[in-house]
Structure 1
Amino acid sequence: MLTMKVRIQTAANQTEVEVVIFAPVDSHEAQSIKTLLEKVPSETKSLTFYQGTTKYYLKPSQILFFETDGRQIHAHTINDVYVTKHRLYELEEQLPNSFIRISKSAIINVDHVLSITRSISNCLVQFQNSHKQVYASRRYYKQLQERLNEMR
């Protein structure tokens, strides 16, 4: 049986919650706790998106993936496509752990992944309840596979 100490320490200058796990080397229990904590939904604020002159406020959980098209970043939901003024690197920093970069030009929400079809040159990612799909590059495939295994 796993015995565990839990301690909360507060600090006046602390601006966000930080969790540190002290564990023996190669502790499977510590890895399980880390995975569970990462799944806890964060109070991520809505992001601003645009369609023409209309401004929309969407939660990140509604987004299937982000991709670049020329100099614009498009956010894809199940039924719509929006434009955002953020760059991919900015989105990577702001988005919850369920998002991962899969190529130089795309970030996906692994919570919405239905399937991955791997070929010699690339990897096709398909999404639940949507006809939309995006390609992952070979360079990011291993990270994508690891993240999907962690999340499932």
Structure 2
Amino acid sequence: MLITERGNGKSYTLRQVLFRHVAGGRRRKETAVRVRIQRVEDKKQEEVLLRLAGEDASTAGLKEYIETDSWRVVSLSCRKDGEIHRVKSTGIFYVESVQEIQLIHTQEQVLETRERLYVLEKMLPASFVRISRSVILNLDKVRRYRPLMNGLMEAKLENGELVYISRKYLREVKDRISDNSNKGGTPDDKE
């Protein structure tokens, strides 16, 4: 199983993610991280136990990462040219609502789904946030942010597209960006 980590968009194994957060950058010989997985029958029985010698910002970030289900990948059924496609949430840049259709923007293409925007907002992982009445943005796909004179904020995505964060949603987005950078991401990650 690969996990796409918030902030840098790269995929890692669960062991690598745990090591990066628990070891805090120390060499492998200094910190041994043992990962054990036990299968359970019911999803309600799932739990994660971290046994740590100490806590810091990295372990707090890991705790939030696990609690918010950020590591889970959601797949959406979308249509394009009469064909049905499965699109993983890690590949979605943003979702835009146009009339009754939601447009799913990925690196190379734009697909359609009839799922309501508010339903998609609940389904998608924690890296997705509403930025306007009609757009949900994947914060992991943002390269940089730029405030504009009219109170909006511009977000430049990894694919070069620009989207605009409205004033109504700006506080939430700023809080999410701040939380993300305080838990392992750095401002340098955003160009």
Task: State TM-score, norm by structure 2.
Answer: 0.61
State the partner residue of 1:70. 99
TM-score (norm 1): 0.75
Question: Structure 1 runs of 4+ off > 6 angstroms?
Answer: none
Question: Match for 1:41 among 64, 67, 71?
Answer: 71
- Please state how far the C-alpha of 1:73 moved relative to its aligned partner: 0.8
1:57 counterpart letter in structure 2: R
Q: Which has the higher contact order (CA 8 A, sep 6+)?
A: 2
Number of paired residues?
136
Which structure is higher in helix share?
2
Give the conservation status (yes or no) of the 8 Å contact 1:125–1:135.
yes
- Farther off after superposition, 119-128 or 101-110: 119-128
* Residue matched to 2:119: 90
> Residues of 2 paired with 1:57 and 1:29: CA distance?
33
Q: Please, which runs of 5 or more residues in structure 2 have no aligned partner?
A: 1-40, 49-56, 186-191
SS for the counterpart of 1:131 is coil
CA contact (8 A) 1:73 1:84 kept: yes
Q: How does 1:101-116 map to 2 (within 5 A)?
A: 101-116=130-145
Q: Where does the alignment leave 5 or more consecutive residues of structure 1 unmatched?
A: 1-11, 20-27
Residue identity in the other structure for 1:146: D
Shift of 1:31: 4.9
Q: Which runs of structure 2 are paired with 1:112-127 in the superposition (5 Å)?
A: 112-119=141-148, 120-127=150-157
Alpha-carbon distance between aligned partners in 1 of 2:74 and 2:58, rounded to the nearest angstrom:
31
Question: In 1, distance between residues paired with 2:70 and 2:176?
Answer: 15
After superposition, the C-alpha distances for 1:4-40 in whole angstroms (9 at most, x for unaligned) are xxxxxxxx88647477xxxxxxxx7985454342475
Query: Aligned to 2:160, what secondary structure does the other structure show?
Result: coil
Q: What is the alpha-carbon distance in structure 1 between the residues aligned to residue 71 and residue 156 of structure 2?
A: 23
Find 1:138's aligned residue among 153, 167, 178: 167
C-alpha RMSD of matched pairs (Å)? 2.8
* 2:37 corresponds to: none
